[in-house]
Amino acid sequence: MSDHSSRRLIMGMLSSLAMLLILGLGVELLLRQYSLRQHELEQQRLLAHAYEVRAVLLAELNATLHLATGLASYIPAKQGRIDEAELQPWLRGLFEQGRHIRNIGLAPGNRIDFLYPLAGNESALGLYYPDIDAQWPAIQRVIASRKPHLVGPLSLLQGGQGLIYRVPVYLNDQSYWGLISTVIDFDQLAAEVESIARKRGIAVTITPAGQTTIPAKQDALDLSVSLAGAQWQLQATPLNPAKKTFTGLRMLGWGLAFTVAGLIGFALHTQQRRANLLLALNQSQRDFLQAFELAPQGMVLMTAEGGLLVVNQAFCRLLQLPPEQLLHRPLHSFCPPAEHEALSAHVSAIRPGHNNSWFLTLVDAQHLQIPVECSAAILGSLGGADEVRILHVQDMRERLRLQRLQSEFTASVSHELRTPLTAIAGALGLINGGVLGEVPHAMQQLLQIAHANSLRLQALIDDLLDMEKLMAGKIRVELRDQWLWPLLEEAVAHNQPYADQYQVLLHLVGPPCSVRVAVDEQRLAQVLANLLSNAAKFSPPGARVSLLVEEHADQVRVSVQDQGAGIDDDFKARIFSKFSQADASDSRQKGGTGLGLAISKELLERMHGRIGFDSVKGQGSTFWFELPLHATSTQRANL
Ligand code: ADP
């Protein structure tokens, strides 16, 4: 991975992480808000229930206190004289109505003289308040205030806890009569209030105000209760406080944060990659266009129909025309009319992976014809155009000039060599033949080698000249309708002496065929000589080379079959090329130039035939050529 892309990856990861943290923070803030809101709602609910409980407490107490207050108005009405018989049923009535009254005591002159019910409270009868040091100062303040006063909860002599409601009674002449003291069963009242509170899902504790005996609890709510001078604190707490961990919500929130951060990170990464790709693409397009523009050869972008879309400087120079006179015109408008059809065929045959090359003539602004070689490929879509073709146009003038020079040089050198070589070979032949007298024994071998080599040199020069003439189109092939069989017989007869050198027998496989072909007799003999001499050359001594004829529907096939070593697979593709030999040492060992098959191919094509071979290494070769059957031979065959 390059430095640039790894930095980009780290940046992407960091931004995703930052995104995750921001989203996570958002989730936590939302959870906090939600938790506060929940807490607020719970507090509101708790407050509402605490108010309800306080209202119950006050209602219960008020009802009881009113009863006691009603009794206080009875005494002045009786001018302070109390008739016990009259009082008893009334006290009973009060006691029964006031559900939490434990006892009611009347203390004229601050001494408890009447007590209802007496049973269980006997110890309080006759109690003189000034004697109770703990209570007397408070009682004195009640008397002085002339107002009823509630105190407690206090531990009662009779056991348990109670509230004491003291009502100072003054007679109509404003003289102090005494106290009415109502003891309220605090334990019972508190139990009832607590049970009501429990039904509402809260727990309550009642303590006198100022006595901070209740430890401050979390989620607890304190309400003050004041009645008839008494001050309490009512603390309410939820019985089952909700656990506020929000684990599910938190997990969901963080899960969403992860997903969103991941998605955003992925989207950013993809966008970044796309932007980089686009940048790279633009850069590579610019590079391509620059290379295209500055290429030393002509370059053209064209449509599938051959319309010119873009041309480079070299192409403009080649045709000596400015780009505006070239663009949007078909390529064939710069070719001679005779080539239009071929050009269209080539353009429409352009396929990916094919060898899309052809020769073409272009005409420049001065009407000069320029031979070019075109190579094309499909580029795909470009700048809105579909299936764009790119064409490489190579000016062939220099190459053709060099080829011509080379041919002319080879031809003239060969020509110059041929005459003296013919003379040398002739002279050596005469000497070796003994025409000029007997050759001294010591010179015989050297002279024979010299003669053989001069003949090989002659053959090479003949082949070279033939090849050059063929290439230059200077060899004239005169086709003449004739019988094929005699030509084959003649070829076998002429080449047997050569085959004898290799102890090979040439054999024309009968029966004679009655086939006529249109051929140049001499040139066909040259082809047969090449195939038969090759077969003999590459066969082992004592082998046989067969010459066969097969007639097909409209052509005849002539095959030369040998029992030689066969042809290597990797040489097969080059065998018809000029100067190609399977083994370079062949030319020294067996003679030959590597031109024979190339010349045979050219000659056969001029005679409208074709050449080929079948060979398996180690199992011999069969070289064959096919020629079209002449009409008359078909007629004859039908007779
Ligand atoms: P040359 O003059 O060297 O024979 P050719 O063009 O006739 O040139 O043949 C080219 C090469 O093809 C030979 O050098 C040889 O390697 C191979 N060749 C041709 N004919 C045969 C054959 N019948 N058997 C094996 N190899 C052959």
pLDDT band (50, 70, 90) for residue 4 = low
State pLDDT tens for residues 364-403: 999 999 999 999 998 876 666 677 889 999 999 998 898 8
Q: Is residue 172 part of a domain?
A: yes
Judge if 391 and 405 occupy the same domain.
no
State pLDDT tens for residues 521-532: 999 999 999 999
pLDDT of residue 5: 66
What's the 589 CA to ligand 1 centre distance in angstroms? Answer: 12
Judge if 146 and 192 occupy the same domain.
yes
Measure the CA–CA gap between 299 and 325, rounded to whole angstroms. Answer: 16
Residue 456 amino acid letter: R
What's the 407 CA to ligand 1 centre distance in angstroms? Answer: 24
CA nearest ligand 1 atom 8, residue: 594
Judge if 241 and 123 occupy the same domain.
yes
582 CA: nearest ligand 1 atom: 16
Residue 49 amino acid letter: H
Q: Is residue 111 part of a domain?
A: yes
Domain boundary among 341, 371, 395: 395
Q: Is residue 272 part of a domain?
A: no
- What percent of the chain is predicted at pLDDT more than 90? 32
Q: Is residue 336 part of a domain?
A: yes
Measure the CA–CA gap between 161 and 74, rounded to whole angstroms. Answer: 28
Phi-psi region of 569 (alpha: psi -120 to 50; beta: other; left: phi over 0): alpha
Q: Are 315 and 393 contacting, i.e. CB atoms less than 8 angstroms apart? A: yes
State pLDDT tens for residues 192-226: 999 999 998 899 888 888 765 556 666 788 888 88
Q: Is residue 524 part of a domain?
A: yes
Top mutation candidate among 534, 570, 571, 597 for ligand 1, by most atoms within 8 Å of CB: 534
Judge if 453 and 538 occupy the same domain.
no
What's the 581 CA to ligand 1 centre distance in angstroms? Answer: 6
pLDDT band (50, 70, 90) for residue 160 = confident
CA nearest ligand 1 atom 14, residue: 581
Q: Is residue 269 part of a domain?
A: no
CATH of the domain at 500: 3.30.565.10
Residues contacting 80, CB < 8 A, separation 6+: 108, 171, 177
Judge if 324 and 349 occupy the same domain.
yes
Residue 202 backbone dihedrals phi, psi, to 5 degrees: -130, 160
State pLDDT tens for residues 422-454: 888 889 988 988 888 888 888 888 888 888 888
Number of Cβ atoms within 10 Å of the Cβ of 332:
18
Over residues 507-536, the mean pLDDT reads 93
Over residues 133-157, the mean pLDDT reads 87
State pLDDT tens for residues 556-597: 999 999 999 899 888 888 888 877 776 655 545 566 678 899
Measure the CA–CA gap between 319 and 503, rounded to whole angstroms. Answer: 63
Measured from CB, residues less than 6 Å from any atom of ligand 1 are 530, 534-535, 538, 562, 564, 567, 575, 580-582, 586, 592-598, 621
Top mutation candidate among 463, 504, 581 for ligand 1, by most atoms within 8 Å of CB: 581
Domain boundary among 229, 253, 277: 253
More confident site: 2 or 35: 35
- Does residue 7 have a pLDDT over 80? no
586 CA: nearest ligand 1 atom: 14
Judge if 163 and 241 occupy the same domain.
yes
575 CA: nearest ligand 1 atom: 12
pLDDT of residue 216: 61
Measure the CA–CA gap between 424 and 454, rounded to whole angstroms. Answer: 7
CATH of the domain at 211: 3.30.450.20
- Does residue 345 have a pLDDT over 50? yes
Measure the CA–CA gap between 616 and 624, rounded to whole angstroms. Answer: 15
What's the 355 CA to ligand 1 centre distance in angstroms? Answer: 28
Q: Is residue 427 part of a domain?
A: yes
**Has this prediction a pTM greater than 0.75?**
no
pLDDT band (50, 70, 90) for residue 304 = confident
Number of Cβ atoms within 10 Å of the Cβ of 44:
10
595 CA: nearest ligand 1 atom: 6
CA 393, 396, 398: angle at the middle one, nearest 5? 135
Domain boundary among 436, 468, 500: 468
CA nearest ligand 1 atom 19, residue: 534
pLDDT band (50, 70, 90) for residue 637 = very low
560 CA: nearest ligand 1 atom: 23
623 CA: nearest ligand 1 atom: 23
Judge if 385 and 413 occupy the same domain.
no
Range of the domain at 537: 475-638
564 CA: nearest ligand 1 atom: 24
Judge if 379 and 405 occupy the same domain.
no
Over residues 311-330, the mean pLDDT reads 93
CA nearest ligand 1 atom 21, residue: 534
State pLDDT tens for residues 453-488: 888 888 888 888 888 887 777 788 899 999 999 999
pLDDT of residue 217: 66
Q: Among the ranges 64-68, 227-231, 263-267, 375-379, which has the highest mean pLDDT value?
A: 375-379
CA 616, 620, 624: angle at the middle one, nearest 5? 90
Measure the CA–CA gap between 585 and 572, rounded to whole angstroms. Answer: 18
CA nearest ligand 1 atom 12, residue: 581
Q: 3-state DSSP call for residue 40? A: helix
Counting the structural domains of the chain, the total is 4
- Does residue 171 have a pLDDT over 50? yes
535 CA: nearest ligand 1 atom: 23
What's the 594 CA to ligand 1 centre distance in angstroms? Answer: 7
Residue 289 amino acid letter: L
Judge if 552 and 594 occupy the same domain.
yes
- Does residue 414 have a pLDDT over 90? no
Judge if 388 and 423 occupy the same domain.
no
Q: Is residue 286 part of a domain?
A: no
What's the 460 CA to ligand 1 centre distance in angstroms? Answer: 14
Judge if 223 and 80 occupy the same domain.
yes
pLDDT of residue 239: 84
- The packing angle between helices 596-606 and 521-537, to 10°, is 150
Residues contacting 407, CB < 8 A, separation 6+: 468, 471, 472
Q: Is the peptide bond before 117 cis (omega within 30 degrees of 0)?
A: yes
Over residues 3-15, the mean pLDDT reads 75
pLDDT of residue 361: 94
What's the 576 CA to ligand 1 centre distance in angstroms? Answer: 9
CA nearest ligand 1 atom 2, residue: 592
Mean pLDDT (the chain) is: 86
Judge if 40 and 71 occupy the same domain.
yes
Q: What Cα–Cα distance (Å) separates residue 30 from each residue in 36, 37, 150, 204, 228?
A: 10, 10, 50, 33, 48
592 CA: nearest ligand 1 atom: 2
What's the 309 CA to ligand 1 centre distance in angstroms? Answer: 50
The gap between the terminal CA atoms of the chain, to the nearest Å, is 82
pLDDT of residue 305: 87
